[in-house]
Amino acid sequence: MAVPNRPVTTSSEAEAALFDLVDVYDRAYETAAAELSLSPAQACVLGRLDERRGMGALAEELGCDASNITQIVARLEALGLVTREPDPRDRRARLVARTPLGSEINERFATAFTFARTAVGRLSPDEQDQLTALLRKALG
Amino acid sequence: MAVPNRPVTTSSEAEAALFDLVDVYDRAYETAAAELSLSPAQACVLGRLDERRGMGALAEELGCDASNITQIVARLEALGLVTREPDPRDRRARLVARTPLGSEINERFATAFTFARTAVGRLSPDEQDQLTALLRKALG
DNA sequence: TCCATTACTTGAGTCAATCAAGGATCATCC
DNA sequence: GGATGATCCTTGATTGACTCAAGTAATGGA
């Protein structure tokens, strides 16, 4: 179902536009990941490893259970995209880092996921600033 | 992980704002569904039954395999939220419709999913129009 | 040293999603 | 009117995300 998170009713034009944006964004993300044979979750985790970090930090940032990260990282590791090494300072912890292949795949993902770039690119610099301001205000 | 679909890098303020919007939107959708003990997919399908319709129409609209809809509708049916009756005009097809309970749950979902409403509500009518126009332009 | 806490893993279970295959019905064409 | 192919949906198998409960190992403070 790709991205089923569509709203039930959109009572205003602006709400409908927000929905369309989210829908297209999510679908584009999923498509870009699929082009690299990654699940969205795998692409997401891989993208958050610009610096090596622990499992717990990933779980907290993504708002999910640590055991979920364990699984996703294990699959990324099996694909040769990340390494998981013991933290010398705290041997309970594991530090996850991208391998060179992981970095390459990550960059290819960033290239494939053109949606946000393209969408913003349709706006003039002034319009981009307006959009940013409006979204920030809407987000509260 | 709720909604892992975060971008790898956001090269502009506007892209970052788009990401934040999508992230918060998706999480709010999931939270609202969870409050009613529904999965996002279940809430989504339930919300698309303002009129009774066939399985195939749902699958096409949501861009997924028909067998996926079969499963989701079966769970909704087991929960007493929808009925699945043979189409008198085409006995291959099944017409899915909300039960009264399903309608009630759906309305409670619409109430619980306040994000889009709240976000838009932070903007003046003029700003809402601007946002709509900018998003439409960005969507191409 | 003892003990609570922290960091992560394991195991069990649910759900979403896809694919392949199959049954039933429809629609058409001769 | 009967065969043929397409359509609508289901079933079964498999993968992955996600959560929860329970467990292991290491830390750090009393």
Tracing tokens 């699945």 back to the chain, one arrives at B84
d(CA A91, CA A124): 51
Measured distance CA(B117)–CA(B52) in Å, rounded: 26
Task: Please give the share of chain B, as a percent, with pLDDT higher than 70.
Answer: 93
Output the pLDDT for position A122: 97
User: Which tokens belong to A46?
Assistant: 């891989």
Task: Please give the structure tokens belonging to residue A12.
Answer: 């205003």
- A-B contacts (CB, under 8 Å): 199
Residue B31 corresponds to which tokens in the numbers above? 């939270």
pLDDT at A5 over 50: no
pLDDT tens profile B57-114: 999 999 999 999 999 999 999 999 999 999 999 999 999 999 999 999 999 999 999 9
Say how far apart CA B34 and CA B49 lie, in whole Å.
19
Nucleotides of D under 7 A from a protein CB: 7-13, 16-22, 25-28
pLDDT digits (tens, 9 = 90+) for A54-87: 999 999 999 999 999 999 999 999 999 999 999 9
Angle at which helix B66-78 crosses helix B40-47, to 10 degrees, equals 90
**Is-contact A40 A23, C-beta < 8 A?**
no
Residue A9's pLDDT band (cuts 50, 70, 90): low
Cβ(A36)–Cβ(A106) under 8 Å?
Answer: no
Partners of A53 in beta bridges: A96
For residue A110, what pLDDT is reported?
A: 94
- List % helix, strand, coil for chain B (3-state, nearest 5): 60, 10, 25
Cβ pair A26, B5 in contact under 8 A = yes
Residues forming a β-bridge with B95:
B54, B85
Tell me which residue in B1, B8, B41 faces A4 most closely, judged by beta carbons.
B41
In chain A, which among 27-46 make CB contacts under 8 A with chain B?
Answer: 27, 29-30, 40-41, 43-46
Distance CA B55, CA B83 (A): 12
The larger pLDDT score, comparing residue A9 to residue A83, is at A83
Position B75 scores a pLDDT of 98
Cβ neighbors of B135 (< 8 A, separation 6 or more) are: A14, A17, A18, A20, A21, A131
Q: What is the rounded average pLDDT of the residues A100-115?
A: 96
Q: Protein A114 CA to nucleic acid C14 C1', in Å?
A: 34
B3 membership: H or E segment, kind and range: none
Q: Is A124 helix (H, G, I), strand (E, B) or coil?
A: coil
Q: How far is CA A129 from CA A62, A119, A132, B17, in A?
A: 28, 14, 5, 10
Mean pLDDT, to the nearest integer, of A33-52?
96
Q: Which helix (H) or strand (E) holds B91?
A: strand B90-98
Cβ-based contacts of B113 with chain A (< 8 Å) = 7-8
Coil, strand or helix at A3: coil
Please compute the mean of the pLDDT values over residues A118-124 and round it to a whole number.
Answer: 96
Q: Work out the mean pLDDT of chain B and round it to a whole number.
A: 92
Question: Which amino acid, B38?
Answer: L
Q: Which tokens belong to B4?
A: 């892992």
pLDDT value, residue B1? 46
Please say if the pLDDT value at position B8 is more than 70. Answer: no
Q: What local confidence, expressed as pLDDT, does residue A121 receive?
A: 96
Q: What is the pLDDT of residue B37?
A: 96
